[in-house]
C-alpha cells in the first residue's frame, strides 16, 4: 500500500509539473478514511466539491474522507483566471467485524440520564477540540508512530461489545503495557486533556494545524497540559486501560475537523521493536 501511495504521489507530481498545473503534489491514496495533503501553487483557492478549503501561505492544504465515503471526489482549484478540476476516484475498502467480550457492562447498556448528561458534555469538549482551525503547519510534515507494539484493532472495523453491536471503530489500537510512553506523532499544541471520560477514559488531543489533529485515549497518565506546545517524538502520556477497554492499549486517532480518519494513511510500516 505504501508503494502504491508513493507511486500515486509521484505520478500526480509529474503530471502536474508536465501540464503546469496548479496542483503540484498530492500526498496520500484517495480512499475512505484517508487524510490527503495537497501542495498547490501559492495563492490558489481550493474546494473539495463545493466545500472551500483553507490553504496555507506555502500552498499546503489538508483534507480527508470519512469511513463511509464512496464514489468520486472532485478537487477544484482557481488562481486568477485559471481554473482546474482534479478527479479523485475513491478506492473501496473492506472492514473487519470484531466481537469483544468482557468490557464493563455499564459502557454497553444504555446510560441512565445522569450519565447521558456527562457523555454529552464530554462529547462537546471533544468536538470543540477537533474544531480547532489554527495556522499551525505541522500537518504537512511526516508523522511517526506514537509507540510500537502489536496492532490489536484497526480503523473501520465494526465492533460487537458483549454481544451488542456498537459504532464502527474509528481508531487504531496498539497493545502495550500500562505505563508505556506515548509520543507526539507530529509537533503541535495540546487542545484537550481529560483524565477520565466515560467511554475513552484518559483522553488527549493535539492540534497540528488547519483542522488536522490526533487523539489518544484509554491513557493512564498525562505528561502535558492543555495549551502546551509539543514537538514530534516528545512523550505526552502513558498507555492505560481506562474507559471502555479490556486491557492496556493505545487507541490512536487522526481527525480532519469532525471527520475521523485512519492513522495508517499518514505513517509508514510499524517500526521494529
105-130 tens-digit pLDDT: 666 666 788 888 999 999 999 999 99
- The string over 47-56, giving b where at least 16 C-beta atoms fall within 10 Å of a residue's C-beta and e elsewhere, is ebeeeebebb
**Number of continuous H segments (helices) and E segments (strands) in the chain:** 2, 20
User: Residue 251 is inside which H or E element, if any?
Assistant: strand 249-256
Query: Which pLDDT score is estimated for 106?
Result: 65
Query: Which pLDDT score is estimated for 10?
Result: 44
| Bridge-based pairing state of the strands 97-100 and 158-161 | parallel
Residue in 73, 100, 102, 103 with CA at minimum distance from that of residue 88: 73
Residue 11: pLDDT above 70?
A: no
Measured CA to CA, the distance from residue 194 to residue 140 in angstroms comes to 27
Q: What is the mean pLDDT of the chain?
A: 90
Residue 2: pLDDT above 50?
A: no
**Percent over 70 (pLDDT), the chain:** 90
pLDDT, tens only, 29-69: 999 999 999 999 999 999 999 999 999 999 999 999 999 99
Cell of residue 266, nine digits: 499518514
Report the predicted TM-score, pTM, of the whole model to 2 decimal places: 0.88
Amino acid at each position: 500500500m505504501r508503494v502504491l501511495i508513493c507511486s500515486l504521489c509521484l505520478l500526480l507530481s509529474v503530471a502536474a509539473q508536465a501540464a503546469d498545473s496548479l496542483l503540484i503534489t498530492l500526498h496520500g491514496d484517495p480512499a475512505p478514511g484517508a487524510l490527503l495533503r495537497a501542495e498547490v501553487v501559492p495563492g490558489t483557492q481550493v474546494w473539495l466539491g463545493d466545500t472551500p478549503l483553507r490553504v496555507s501561505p506555502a500552498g499546503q492544504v489538508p483534507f480527508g474522507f470519512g469511513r463511509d465515503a464512496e464514489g468520486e471526489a472532485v478537487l477544484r482549484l482557481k488562481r486568477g483566471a485559471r481554473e482546474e478540476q482534479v478527479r479523485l476516484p475513491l478506492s473501496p475498502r473492506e472492514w473487519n467485524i470484531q466481537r469483544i467480550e468482557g468490557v464493563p457492562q455499564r459502557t454497553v447498556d444504555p446510560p441512565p440520564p445522569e450519565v447521558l448528561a456527562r457523555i454529552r458534555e464530554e462529547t462537546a469538549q471533544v468536538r470543540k477540540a477537533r474544531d480547532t482551525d489554527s495556522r499551525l503547519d505541522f500537518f504537512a510534515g511526516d508523522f511517526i508512530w506514537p509507540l510500537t507494539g502489536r496492532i490489536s484493532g484497526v480503523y473501520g472495523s465494526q465492533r460487537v461489545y458483549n454481544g451488542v453491536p456498537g459504532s464502527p471503530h474509528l481508531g487504531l489500537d496498539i497493545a502495550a503495557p500500562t505505563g508505556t510512553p506515548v509520543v507526539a506523532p507530529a509537533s503541535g499544541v495540546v487542545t484537550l486533556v481529560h483524565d477520565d471520560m466515560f467511554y475513552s477514559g484518559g483522553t488527549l488531543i493535539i492540534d497540528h494545524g488547519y483542522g488536522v489533529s490526533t487523539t489518544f485515549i484509554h491513557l493512564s497518565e498525562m505528561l502535558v497540559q492543555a495549551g502546551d506546545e509539543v514537538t514530534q517524538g516528545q512523550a505526552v502520556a502513558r498507555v492505560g486501560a481506562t474507559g471502555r477497554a479490556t486491557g492496556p492499549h493505545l487507541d490512536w486517532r487522526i481527525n480532519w475537523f469532525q471527520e475521523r480518519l485512519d492513522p495508517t494513511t499518514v505513517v509508514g510500516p510499524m517500526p521494529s521493536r
